[in-house]
Structure 1
Amino acid sequence: MKPSRLFIGLRILASTAVSVLIILATVDLWGFLAPGVVRVATWLQFLPSLVRALTAFGLLAAGFIPVLALTLLFGRVYCSFLCPLGAFMDWIIAIRKRISKVKLQYVKPGVVRYFILAGIAVSLLFGSMHLINILDPYSIFARSAQALVRPLAIGLNNLLAQSGELAGYYGIAPYPFSLPPLPVLGVILAWLALVIWLAAARGRLYCNTLCPVGAFLGLASRFSVFKISMDEEKCIQCGACSKRCKASCMDVENKTVDASRCVMCLDCLTVCPVDAVEFTNPSAAKKVETDPARRSLLFMGAFLLTGLPSRSAAETGYGYPEPSAEGGAATPIKDPLGPPLPIKRKASLVPPGGMGRDHFTSACTGCHLCVAACPSHVIRPELISHQGKGLLAPSLSYEKGFCNYNCNACTMVCPSGAILAVGLEEKKRVQMGRAQFIKQNCVVATKGTECVACAEHCPTGAVKIVREQGGPGLPKVDEDVCVGCGACEFACPAKPHKAIYVKASLNHGKALPPKKGESVQNLVGEDFPF
């Protein structure tokens, strides 16, 4: 069984299509892509799909199953057909070959990848996603596109908008320019530079040294039905296949192929002058190299399948638990007037659909698709967040915006189940936190200035202005109705510290509906006067 060049063309087409779809998902400034299109691009990404299966069951979690089935049939086809970072490395290798010769050669298999896989398995048992967040190939690619390609798209959009205005055309709206926080951007750039350097110098070395998906699928590929192999009788040991092999897994001296490292790029099939390289059933292959280290480490696959805690029905979208006392209770601050009090948040705000800190951090791989999807730009990535449980994981920040009451975009794009799909009406009741009022920061109390900004812009009527004994009107929060959207915090004109802010709930609750007679604001696209 020998695939023709048509299959190599199919590999290039498939890997490019997946990569382009993910890039478009991060730079879609105008909302052209439907959420379903984004899911198509992310459904087959192995680690997010596996994490989702272990935290939030459903059809969207089944993507890793066909990938595993394909691996058991044909080896690591995911690495060359479906992995966007793999496609990116192939582009780097191709560019390097045009600039200068890349000296690729066989390298003996190492065990670093298995130690990394073991470390991930152990860390998952302790509820940590840090290693996955750093090493997952899909997340590296997606957040790199979010950090680097998206600003270029914004710049191009704004240039076209400005040019259109000069010509009298106002159909293109300018878009606010933004970059990730500098620590996050530094980590993204450093890791991307490492991937580029490894690809340019050593081909797919990342895939067979640091990538946990490569290590796991390498274990599975040991049992694949069809594999690349060398015909000992035909092979003349010219080394053409080894020099072309991106994975450095073809041992010409012993005429063997390390199937656990072969990424199924199929390039070797096109360069052998005597057709000694074959794509065959292993039962027909005469000699295929095996890695002895794999045998003792096969149990790592079982670790990955059991490492993450499963969630109950109440935590997988069928209803929100009531807010916990820790982090969720909102007690009005009744400090006497004095110097302005700085806001001290003990917990980071989790996006709607994230269920709360523990669920969110146990499933977030740091791909930042939710950051790109948020139209109000309040989902921001952080280097360390959620009391140290989140690495490169996003949280809500209300400095430059608020969570639109009539928006659930972030809940529709998450591939790992960290943010579960939530209908718009259900999202309007998700209680991410509760507003807190600090009287001594309020301009009404300190300057005698009339201000009703927080109450005017509350979408649920949770913030009301109350006058006591003829005094100035001060905000009062109905905590049961507050959803923690941050509209009041964003609108508050108090400086240097806000007089009202949202305190995060460690577990999302379900707010009561607005009381009858209360007007519910539509805040989509509305600008505040401050």
Structure 2
Amino acid sequence: MVRKRKIPGYLWRRLSQLLFFVLFLFLFIKTDYTGSDELEYAVNILFRIDPLLALAAIFAGKTIVALMLPALFTLVFTLVFGRSFCGWICPMGALVDGAAAVIRPPQGTVGKDLRPVKYYLLIFILVAALLGLPLAGYLDPFSLLVRAFSFAVYPAFDFAVSSFFTFTYLHAPDWVNAVSEPVYDFLKNTVLPFSHRVYGLGLLSLLLLALVLLLNHWQRRFFCRNLCPLGGLLALVSRFSWLAARGGDEQCGKCRQCRTICRMGAIAEDRRISPADCNLCLDCVALCPRQKIHLSFQRPQPAAGSYGITRRAFAGTVATGALLPLFLPGRLLARRPDPLLIRPPGALAEDEFLGRCVRCGECMKVCIGNALQPALLEAGIEGMFTPLVRSRIGYCEYNCTLCGQVCPTGAITKLALPAKHATVIGRAFFDKNLCLPYAKGIPCIVCEEHCPTPDKAIKFRPQQVVNSRGETVTVLQPFVLDELCIGCGICENKCPLPGLAAVRLTGEGAARQAGQTLPGW
């Protein structure tokens, strides 16, 4: 009888990583308009199971964020299965491991042990969040990954594919187009976005992701080992996990192959395996020549090493996290926002919005009109990567509520369509030095034609003016009825003037909702 060959555990882990990364790409692509104002899938689930973002949103927003309750599953999963979330599920971890196949990081323990850094970052982030300064989204692996894909990778992919098929359509013979056009239609319906998008901070987002991957050059899974604050949180929980890897013993002699191959540096010189660092990748199980390493549901053996946190460094980290919010100019901006700072419809009051927003980029990815763009310093340092409306790039679609549907923390409230129609995010005003009917006596009604409100927020007054040729003519000069304008920005977007538009938006009159805070906070 032929004995069936057993599939090594590390191959199951690789398959799991591949499947979850494909799932991530599927949900990422589906974070888009597909012909309906309702999304078919829970496209924001990746962020909702992130306990780091959940804690940061709760601390900074001073409220229980019901949307983030699925993060409890990740904590329970870690308590049972250890830090296997990092090794088997996390799409950033899968991408880092994939990059290691190209970058070829050194094996074994290299350089100074920097693993305590992730704990310092975790403490700093949570203390700062407790005092109203949200920083988790800047280092959270999911936010880093989705921002880079949304702002840089996906738009570049769309541009490259569309340019290729446009070239073939214009220059290739008919028999080529007979094949290429159905392929392009298929890609448009399945993979490519609903419309072409452009974003600011795309290069910066891509460079941050590239840095995470390039750190593999110095140490395998450098970011996951040393810098990931989510990994730090899961490491704390996994110290008490039921499932853990058991190392070798004195019978192994001088063999240290398991320690050399470990991608997380979890195996000590005496072969004890730290449950806080081990992500159960199973490489050591497969490569141990004596088959001494195994997994078991038992009380974990004493952890190899300690947290590596000194009292002085801990106190300094807490003090920095507590004092930093007091010195940022963004604290004032949260109370007196920039008049040109326009947030999405349904956004909470500015200080609460900044506290809950995890800088994931989901709302900007799904915005039909490409109006939502990442902020740089418009809302202070703490507002970086938060969404704001840039009407010259795009406009807020009148019949769209998708941004509120994808927000994982409720920083943008999910609005019903009638409520969205009545929600004011800003007001339009005319610059009479630029507007053609005012400045040059040239007729232009483009802004009024595109105004989506039923009664038209832009009206006209007939006025006799002297044009640039010295002729007296009657033109219709536009003006805005503030009580009808909702600030969608389509008038600014469609203004035919090059450069600065003659009609622009301000945040005046914006309806910003107040969230609920916990008693005593």
TM-score w.r.t. length of structure 2: 0.77
Answering whether residue 218 of structure 2 is matched by residue 218 of structure 1, we say no
Quickly say closer, same or farther: Cα 1:119–1:51, change in 2 above 3 A.
closer
Residue 497 to residue 454, structure 1, CA distance change in 2 (3 Å): same
Q: Deviations over 1:320-352 (max 9, x none)?
A: xxxx9966xxxxxxxxxxxxxxxxx63422122
Letter of the 1:18 partner, please give it: F
Deviation at 1:152, TM superposition (A): 1.4
Q: Alignment partner of 2:459: what SS?
A: strand
- Asked whether the equivalents of residues 71 and 220 of structure 1 are also in contact (C-alpha less than 8 Å), the reply is yes
Which residue pairs with 2:413 in the alignment? Answer: 420
Whether 1:143 and 2:150 are equivalent positions in the alignment is no
Of 294, 297, 300 in structure 2, the residue corresponding to residue 278 of structure 1 is 294
Residue 495 of structure 1: how far off its partner (Å) = 5.5
Give the aligned partner of residue 493 of structure 1: 496
1:95-494 aligned at under 5 Å gives the runs 95-97=102-104, 102-105=106-109, 108=113, 110-129=115-134, 131-146=135-150, 147-164=152-169, 167=177, 172=185, 178-181=197-200, 184-232=201-249, 234-251=251-268, 253-283=269-299, 285=301, 287-293=302-308, 346-460=339-453, 461-467=455-461, 472-494=475-497
Which whole-Å CA distance do the structure 2 matches of 1:192 and 1:400 have between them? 25
Counterpart CA distance in 2 for 1:227 and 1:85 is 22
Q: Which of residues 8, 15, 18 is equivalent to 1:16? A: 18
Kept in 1, the 8 Å contact 2:404–2:410? The answer is no
Identity of counterpart residues, as a percentage? Answer: 26
Question: How far has the Cα of 1:384 moved from its partner?
Answer: 2.6
**C-alpha displacement of 1:153:** 3.1
- 1:258–1:31 distance in 2 versus 1, CA, 3 Å: same
Any conservation in 2 of the 1:356–1:505 contact (CA below 8 Å)? Answer: no
Q: Is the 8 A contact 1:462 1:479 kept in 2?
A: no
Going from structure 1 to structure 2, the CA distance change for 1:74 and 1:479 (only over 3 Å counts) comes to same
Look up the SS of the partner of 1:474 in the other structure: strand
CA-to-aligned-CA distance 1:373-419 (integer Å, 9 cap, x gap)? 12221222233332443122232111133111011222222334333
Give the RMSD, CA atoms, in angstroms: 3.7
User: Is the Cα contact below 8 Å between 1:235 and 1:274 reproduced in 2?
Assistant: yes
Which has the larger helix fraction? Answer: 2
1:473 match: secondary structure:
strand
1:79 matched to 2:86: yes
Q: Give, as a single letter, the amino acid of the residue that structure 2 aligns with 1:227.
A: A
Q: Structure 1 405/507 Cα, relative in aligned 2: closer, same or farther at 3 Å?
A: closer
CA contact (8 A) 1:444 1:474 kept: yes
Gaps of 5+ in 2: 1-5, 323-333, 465-473, 514-521
Distance in 2 separating the partners of 1:414 and 1:17? 24
Distance 1:118 1:59, change over 3 A: closer
Residues 8, 286 of structure 2: 8 Å contact kept = no
Q: AA paired with 1:348?
A: L
CA distance in 1, matches of 2:69, 2:315: 22
Q: CA 1:495 to 1:379, structure 2 compared with 1: closer, same or farther past 3 Å?
A: same
CA distance in 1, matches of 2:380, 2:160: 34
Question: Offset at 1:508?
Answer: 2.7
Q: Distance in 1 between matches of 2:87 and 2:419?
A: 40
On the 8 A contact 1:398/1:489 being kept in 2, the answer is yes
Q: How many residues are treated as equivalent by the alignment? A: 465
> 488-497 or 368-377: which moved more?
488-497
Give the distance between the partners of 1:6 and 1:57, measured in 2 at CA. Answer: 43
Tell me which residue corresponds to 1:518. Answer: none
How far apart in 1 are the matches of 2:442 and 2:265? 72
In the alignment, which residue of structure 2 is the partner of 1:528? none
Q: Is the 8 A contact 2:346 2:512 kept in 1?
A: no
Listed one character per residue, the Cα deviations across residues 438-485 of structure 1 (whole Å, up to 9, x for unaligned) are 333321122122222222221113523242787743333232332210
Amino acid at match of 1:104: G
Which residue does the alignment assign to 1:61? 68
Deviation at 1:39, TM superposition (A): 3.2
8 Å contact from structure 1 (residues 35, 412) kept in 2: no
Q: Which moved more, 1:385-394 or 1:466-475?
A: 466-475
Q: Displacement, 1:195?
A: 1.4
Q: Residue 23 of structure 1 contacts residue 145 of structure 1 at CA under 8 Å; is this kept in 2?
A: no
